[in-house]
Copies of this chain bind each other. A is one copy, B any other.
Amino acid sequence: MLCGGVGAARFLSGLVRVVDPADVTAIVNVADDETFHGLHVSPDLDTVLYTLAGVVDQTRGWGVRDDTYAVQQALSRLGRDTWFQLGDADLATHIHRTALLREGHPLSDVTARLARALGVATRVLPASDDRQATKVLCDGGWLDFQEWFVHRATRDRVREVRFEGDARPAPGVREAIAAADVIVLAPSNPFVSIGPILAVAGVREAIERAAAPVVAVSPIVGGEALKGPAAAMLESLGHEVSALGVARIYRGLVDVCVVDERDASLARAIADLGIGAVVTRTIMSDRAAKESLARAVLDAASGTVGAAR
């Protein structure tokens, strides 16, 4: 499964209840990674890890539940910018990660250690051990991702997205894709979550070559993003703001697109793209809904085994 942050993590938390968690490999976007206070923060990796570990703040979807902010308050008193919220338990993750990275451990190794320490049985891989950085072009110029996403709260319209850094896939990424029974594109932002993973050298090609069916779950329901700026980005980047718009972006890469009941009317147009459309309830409102969506995705995949792309 190719994963961004909150949407992907929620989907994963259902998936690992309907299949053995150890049979799942999450390949997670790292182009949102940023250095705050000299510490390496990997928002999507942490959202996935915290969610799978059962310690995530479920209301926000990210960060650690019931976390405190003593360090952040002290950093603020010392004059540091603290617009990126970092709770105390969360900071421990960043301190640990940064210490290990500085000792020379690649991010994939650091992530495996964090997963082990957090009791996560699912294999969580960063898309790359290299530094990859999403930049967005807004009317005022190019912005770093977190500057746009968190500091400026996505209020600037995005005209263009690019990924800096010649990122190579982390160890195991291409192998996991090649060996997969099913490849899932999580209900994440196609531009800034799935996009950077596909931009890692050889990943898109590995998916195209893979024997497994490729299923995308639309992050757009009824013309709106469930979370985050995906809808606004579809619009500002010239796409139709719908599951059909998403399907068009993934054309040539995916076999099946799973869309919400509310978007049932788009199924024919998606099929016309040569992409199977599966209509189900995609809103992950509770545990049962998450598990049901996971089953629907796996069913959609098994229905297309051997499908030609």
Contacts and interface: CB of A to CB of B under 8 A. Distances in A.
Interface in A75-92: 75, 77-80, 88-89, 91-92
A37 B99 contact: yes
Interface stretch (A10-18, A66-74, A263-271): A66-74
Contacts of A74: 64, 88-89, 91-93
Interface residues of A, number: 31
A39 interface: yes
Nearest to A38: B99
Contacts of A113: 79
Q: How many copies does the complex hold?
A: 2
A82 B64 CA distance: 21
A64 B77 CA distance: 13
B92 A75 contact: yes
A78 B92 contact: yes
A80 B68 contact: no
Nearest to A96: B78
Interface in A1-19: none
A98 interface: yes
A14 to B, nearest CB: 26
Q: Which 8 A-B pairs have the closest CB atoms?
A: A74-B92, A38-B99, A70-B88, A74-B89, A75-B92, A78-B117, A78-B96, A71-B88
Given A38-B103, A70-B70, A71-B91, 19 more contacts: A38-B102, A39-B99, A64-B74, A68-B70, A68-B88, A70-B89, A71-B89, A71-B92, A72-B92, A75-B92, A75-B95, A75-B96, A77-B92, A78-B96, A78-B114, A78-B117, A79-B113, A80-B96, A91-B95
